[in-house]
Amino acid sequence: MSLRNALLGLLSLKARHGYELHAAFTALAGGAENWDVKPAQVYTTLARLKESGLVAEAGTEQSGGPEKRRYRLTKRGQGELAHWWSRAVEPGHARDEFFVKLMLAVAWVQAGPPGETRVDPKALLQAQRRGLFQELHRWTLRRDGLDPSVSLGQILLMEKAIAHGEAELRWLDRVESRLDEVRRQPVAVPEARTRGRPKNPT
């Protein structure tokens, strides 16, 4: 929901063409480490921004290969950008796939049919923990091996990954103990009530 805004921000620093924008965004946002954007998306987004009148072409340049279409912010683009700066970033959707998987595994244990395909929440948990631990190790090595002249963003990204990784690890421990508690006293699986043929009137 916001490559648009980042592009506007970059263009507010100076006019650029698509390739430059892609490179600049990748450097700025941490690339594959944090927010990987493919060139194609830059061009399509740019086209949409142009159609909305937020950017405009500021002359093309030709030096050998294909044309370089340079873009610049319009007045409306500046307004939109100012609005973005004024807004706080909305706390993101976590969309934690592991959590869903875990809850599904728990539900399976409690209500699952007797298929061979067993799913053990404990095993899931341990696999996740092992993977995270290794990743954490790698990040730590990378952070400690960073050249001090490297950009500020690189350092901050590593520190962030480590901070959240450690938090997640501690949370996984917590999950395990909660799971042990529940195993002694299982809980109900949430279900939706349906209308037709009511079974138990409350």
Q: How many CB atoms lie within 10 A of CB 7?
A: 27
Footprint on residues 143-202 left by DNA (CB under 7 A): 192-196, 198
- Using CB under 8 A as the binding rule, whether residue 176 contacts a copy of itself is answered as no
Choosing from 51, 114, 145, 196, the residue that interacts with a copy of itself (CB under 8 A) is 196
Q: Which amino acid is at 143?
A: R
Work out how close the CB of 179 gets to DNA at its nearest, in angstroms, rounded to a whole number. Answer: 26
- What is the DSSP code (8-state) at residue 16? B
Footprint on residues 67-126 left by DNA (CB under 7 A): 67-69, 93, 95
Contact assessment for residue 143 and residue 162, using Cβ atoms and an 8 Å cutoff: yes
Beta bridge partners of 73: 55
What sign results for the dihedral spanned by CA atoms 184, 133, 29, 45?
Answer: negative
What would the two tokens of residue 20 be?
A: 């430059």
Work out how close the CB of 93 gets to a copy of itself at its nearest, in angstroms, rounded to a whole number. Answer: 7
Choosing from 11, 18, 54, 158, the residue that interacts with DNA (CB under 7 A) is 18
- Using CB under 8 A as the binding rule, whether residue 200 contacts a copy of itself is answered as no
Contact assessment for residue 74 and residue 55, using Cβ atoms and an 8 Å cutoff: yes
Binding site for DNA (CB under 7 A): 1-4, 17-20, 23, 36-41, 43-48, 64-69, 93, 95, 192-196, 198
